[in-house]
Structure 1
Amino acid sequence: MSVSGPLNFKPPQVIGVLDHSQDPEGHVPSELLPQGLDVVVPLWPSYATQPGDRDKLVVRYEQVGQIPVVIINEYLPADIKPEFVIHIEPKYLLSDGVGKLWYEVYDTADHPSFSDHRNLTIDHSPVRDDLEMVTFRDADPWGTVHCFTEPAIWTGIWLVIPALTGSKVGDRCEVTWRGYGPSSSGSVEIPRTRWENIRQSLSDQDVKTGYSLTVNPYVPHIEPMVANASATVIYRIFRGARLVGMSKVATLKISRMLAGDPVPCGP
């Protein structure tokens, strides 16, 4: 690396964790905690190229109550590549809290340059899988929508997302609808019926009272369900890339057949 003066780099990326610009707190997904973290450091602008040159990369992670991480690697010109992936072992991720991650680069003369720090939030709390389920506003008392449902099901099916217990303002909510038809073994998903809605940032009102959505258009999300059909809906709450909770599965029965009529209702 040249000795033209210290450089300042953007915060490092961590594979599986959202960029610091999207999630300033850097919530680490639960599944990464037992595996460790892979920190991605892009090649710095002026690097070792001549015989006798060497660059030194130091990755640091510090969190209260946890042994500080200091990982040092030296690179000769033959070792240079577009980016370096540095692994932080799981033993450094055992304590809940917010830590600081950054890296330093030293040239042959040990002149330093530094990245900005970024937060990483470690949370070992179990992921809730029993959040209150979605309800279907227009279903009859038996949990069915049919030819006489008002408003007509071909105008869309209204979902009611309940108050989002345990979520926070700014969390993300992902809602998934799946349609099923009858088969000899019970029921089978009809892939083309799948519908998803992502609310990127929950408001205070969303958290306290929930919100409503409409599944549409009719084709392809509802029309393929004809007789002895159903749909399921589940929602998941994310804080950054970390899943913090999911709802119980809600099931809606769907019938578009009338007794004695071989043709299903609907446009």
Structure 2
Amino acid sequence: MPSDPDKAATANTSDAGVLLDLPRVEGVDASDPAGTLPADAKQKGIGVIISRWLAFPVDARIDRVQIYIVGTPDPVKERFYGAADDALEFLIPVEPTLLPDVPSFEIRYMVRSVNDTTSLPRRLTFAITPPPKVLKEPTFPDATPWGYINCTKNNPHDPDALFVWEGIRVSIPFDDRFQAQDAIELKWQGWDSLNGSGTALTPLVTFTKTITAADIRDKKPISIVIEPFATHIEPMTNNDSAVTSYVLVRNRVPIFSSYTGLVKIDRVIPGESGFCSDASWM
């Protein structure tokens, strides 16, 4: 029966003797069992610090150091050291793209030498810090000057205008802090009041849009359409509202958040008691 290469790799690393000091990481308190990383670790990566090992080369031999994320068979980083590199400790940078997309993980390292040796694992945890609220609130191009979405189009001459059953446009004001490939994560939820409080009528939902190079060039507001109608709009009928805000995400890290925008919903058909949900009432 053919062997499993992942199991073989795991066996090769686990067979090494545990003779090395724990890895350390720049900016991490050695006494913190969670190993809380600096707030910018997801953007800048981490610096793994390893101590000089006892059998460091003193002749022509070259040793190989490998950094592992525990649970993966292949090293995420490796370096080679010879007698000319001798020092008390060594810094090995690990780029952010090589870090796992999980809240917490463990690292260890191996020294491939005359005898392979390994360290015990060191737990690391990404810091959770709320992004600063500095971005302007979303606006609603199809709302009336009084902030209402009705059954009719408020701007019928706008080619992009929508009827409420087609969706609700949310406009994100352009900000010079935006960069291409950033993501806007917009949250939307409907409520049974005109001030975005009380009982929730719709689930809290997140809409994501990636900022393009054209968006940066044009510096125009970025549009996101709330849909489908049945899930995110129809539960709101009259004297209801929806609130929305967004976070700017860069390299998987939320870096800025916005103030909250509010739009009022009135789907009462003019002159009637029913609510519009398609064009049949017109």
- For this structure pair, what is the TM-score category when the shorter chain's length is used for normalisation? 0.5 to 0.7
Specify the code of the residue in structure 1 equivalent to 2:147.
G
Specify the code of the residue in structure 1 equivalent to 2:142.
D
Please, which runs of 5 or more residues in structure 1 have no aligned partner? 1-42, 72-84
Aligned to 1:27: none
Deviation at 1:136, TM superposition (A): 0.9
Aligned to 2:94: 118
Alignment of 1:9-158 (within 5 A): 45-47=11-13, 53-56=17-20, 58-62=22-26, 87-88=34-35, 93=38, 100-102=46-48, 113-115=65-67, 116=77, 117-119=93-95, 127-149=131-153, 151-158=162-169
Deviation at 1:47, TM superposition (A): 4.3
Aligned to 1:205: 214
Aligned length: 199
Deviation at 1:152, TM superposition (A): 1.8
How much identity, in percent, do the aligned residues show? 22
In structure 1, which of residues 224, 241, 245 is the aligned counterpart of residue 256 of structure 2? Answer: 245
1:134·1:162 contact (CA, 8 Å) conserved in 2?
yes
CA distance in 1, matches of 2:46, 2:205: 38
Deviation at 1:197, TM superposition (A): 1.4
**What TM-score does the superposition give when structure 2 sets the normalisation length?**
0.56
Please, which runs of 5 or more residues in structure 2 have no aligned partner? 1-8, 57-62, 68-76, 78-92, 97-125, 157-161
Specify the code of the residue in structure 2 equivalent to 1:128.
P
**Distance of aligned partners of 1:128 and 1:165 in 2 relative to their CA distance in 1, 3 Å threshold:** farther
1:227·1:257 contact (CA, 8 Å) conserved in 2?
yes
Greater Cα radius of gyration, structure 1 or 2: 2
1:178·1:232 contact (CA, 8 Å) conserved in 2?
yes
**What TM-score does the superposition give when structure 1 sets the normalisation length?**
0.59
1:106·1:113 contact (CA, 8 Å) conserved in 2?
no
CA distance in 2, matches of 1:146, 1:260: 13
**Distance of aligned partners of 1:57 and 1:197 in 2 relative to their CA distance in 1, 3 Å threshold:** farther
CA distance in 2, matches of 1:187, 1:94: 35
Deviation at 1:49, TM superposition (A): 5.3
Aligned to 1:236: 247
**Distance of aligned partners of 1:164 and 1:104 in 2 relative to their CA distance in 1, 3 Å threshold:** same
Which is worse superposed, 129-138 or 227-236? 129-138
CA distance in 2, matches of 1:70, 1:253: 49
Deviation at 1:156, TM superposition (A): 0.9
Specify the code of the residue in structure 2 equivalent to 1:235.
Y
Specify the code of the residue in structure 1 equivalent to 2:65.
S
Specify the code of the residue in structure 2 equivalent to 1:113.
V
Q: Supply the RMSD in Å over aligned alpha carbons.
A: 4.3
1:225·1:254 contact (CA, 8 Å) conserved in 2?
yes
Specify the code of the residue in structure 2 equivalent to 1:130.
V
Higher relative contact order (CA 8 A, sep 6+): 1
Deviation at 1:131, TM superposition (A): 1.0
1:128·1:246 contact (CA, 8 Å) conserved in 2?
yes
Alignment of 1:181-192 (within 5 A): 181-182=192-193, 187-192=198-203
Deviation at 1:258, TM superposition (A): 3.9
Deviation at 1:166, TM superposition (A): 2.2
Specify the code of the residue in structure 2 equivalent to 1:61.
V
1:54·1:108 contact (CA, 8 Å) conserved in 2?
no
CA distance in 2, matches of 1:107, 1:251: 60
Aligned to 1:169: 180
Deviation at 1:212, TM superposition (A): 1.1
CA distance in 2, matches of 1:95, 1:140: 42
Specify the code of the residue in structure 2 equivalent to 1:118.
V
2:202·2:231 contact (CA, 8 Å) conserved in 1?
no
